[in-house]
Structure 1
Amino acid sequence: MTSQQQNSPRSPARVNRSRVNPMASVALITAAALVGVGVLAVQANGSAPNKSATTTIDKQQPAQQQPTAPSTNQAGQTVTPPPDPTALPDDSGKGKRIVYSLAKSRVWLVGADDKLQMSAAAVPGTVSPTPGTYAVSKWKATAKGADGASVQYQVLWGPASANTKFAFDAIASLGGDQVPQKPAAGTTTGGVRLTQNDALAVWQFATAKGTPTQIVVVS
């Protein structure tokens, strides 16, 4: 090959084949960078702690264990929230029982395992029992209250030394969740009135076979 042939310029076709397209280089570099970021993300995700289990455990913790900030008034003084009227009263016995609060006009059903099963508002009779522990004496599907009202799901209880004169029951003519009215003025009754649905729950609880049901009356 002569010197003239060695120094002769390359043909346009050869120049185009050897030259690298700058746009293609940018695309290749960008793609490689994205692949690297993806690999790092996968590695980071694999080494990161799993927080979903912690969240589930937190949700399963009882509400009373969650710390709460005390309420304060405008003067910065700590305000104690009022007691929950639906909370089971303290010193209300042990084991399977129906707890009746005179002050709160409310009943609670507590199982033999001391776990609360139900709480419901009640309409007291005109005669109030003395706080204490009583036994269920008998029950009637339908009956006449001492005030003459037709009742059902009647669970009777009272002092063993006296005629039973207290009972949980429901007015037969009312709907399932309809709250009964207070006994008429001038009547004498120890019936503690509940809605139909609540009285049925008390009936089923008290008449279930197994552990006897106690009635615990608190002030």
Structure 2
Amino acid sequence: MSRKTSGIVAALTAAAIGAVGFLAFQASANIPGKATATGSPGSSPSASASGSAGSPAHQRKNPRALPAESGTGERVVYALGERRVWLVAEGGKPERTFAVVPSTVSPAAGSYAVSSRSGSVTGSDGVRIEHVVRFTSVDNVVIGFSSAVDGTTATPDPTLKTGGVRMKRGDGNAMWRFATVGTKVVVVP
């Protein structure tokens, strides 16, 4: 092998080792409880509403407890990363909490208000839904809470742009009674 060829081989080998080392670092940064580049244990810049191991639900001692930075007063709290909703009474005590199945389009963290409600309609995914509580829209996709009339809580088709945050029918009934037009909705990461 010529010197030029062996120099190229050495350079490619060094690049490959560097790439593997970088990928190993990235993988280790996403291990729950391990400090990451952001400096917070178990957090990941890429953690999303998927409820991944680096999400806040896995960091808190009691994932059913109301998130600390979720506002005050009577409100609905929707934690994207935890896929959970709390119905919080006037005094700040949660009346009910339950798991939800997020839509393919999610709202940004922030404070909203219930803007409209419908007793029974067809969802953007074609499923008959009831107790629809809408609070915002993102890129012309209306975002709201609802229950499928048939009781299913299937994960939405990722190829469709849907805004329905689905819950079990009993939870949907509780949401319907609690969240009237004007009720505050706080979305947290």
TM-score normalised over the length of structure 1? 0.56
4+ residue runs over 6 A deviation: none
Aligned mates of 2:139, 2:157 — CA distance in 1: 25
Map of 1:91-110 to 2, 5 A cutoff?
91-110=69-88
1:170 touches 1:199 (CA, 8 Å); kept in 2?
A: yes
Aligned with 1:151: secondary structure? strand
Q: Does 1:165 align with 2:142?
A: yes
* Aligned partner of 1:200 among 156, 173, 177: 173
CA deviation digits over 1:52-98, x for unaligned, max 9? Answer: xxxxxxxxxxxxxxxxxxxxxxxxxxxxx962111100110111100
* Aligned partner of 2:131 among 142, 149, 153: 153
Aligned mates of 2:131, 2:143 — CA distance in 1: 13
1:150 touches 1:172 (CA, 8 Å); kept in 2?
A: yes
Aligned with 1:201: secondary structure? helix
Map of 1:49-64 to 2, 5 A cutoff?
none
Instruction: Name structure 2 gaps, 5 residues minimum.
Output: 1-58
**Equivalence for 2:93:** 115
**Equivalence for 1:188:** 161
Map of 1:71-82 to 2, 5 A cutoff?
none
Aligned-partner residue type, residue 186 of structure 2: V
Instruction: Name structure 1 gaps, 5 residues minimum.
Output: 1-80
Q: What is the aligned length?
A: 131
Identity %: 39
| CA radius of gyration, larger in | 1
Q: Does 1:126 align with 2:104?
A: yes
Aligned-partner residue type, residue 199 of structure 1: G
Q: Does 1:87 align with 2:65?
A: yes
Shift of the alpha carbon at 1:105? 0.1
Aligned mates of 1:138, 1:198 — CA distance in 2: 18
**Equivalence for 1:217:** 187
1:157 touches 1:164 (CA, 8 Å); kept in 2?
A: no
Taking structure 1 as reference, are residues 82 and 107 closer, same or farther at Cα in structure 2, changes over 3 Å only?
closer
1:171 touches 1:180 (CA, 8 Å); kept in 2?
A: yes
Aligned mates of 2:140, 2:83 — CA distance in 1: 23
Shift of the alpha carbon at 1:185? 3.2
1:137 touches 1:164 (CA, 8 Å); kept in 2?
A: no
Aligned mates of 2:162, 2:64 — CA distance in 1: 25
**Equivalence for 2:40:** none
Taking structure 1 as reference, are residues 110 and 173 closer, same or farther at Cα in structure 2, changes over 3 Å only?
same
Q: Choose between structure 1 and 2: higher helix proportion.
A: 1
Aligned mates of 1:122, 1:183 — CA distance in 2: 12
Taking structure 1 as reference, are residues 180 and 162 closer, same or farther at Cα in structure 2, changes over 3 Å only?
closer
CA deviation digits over 1:111-163, x for unaligned, max 9? Answer: 1111110000000000011000001000000011111111001000116x985
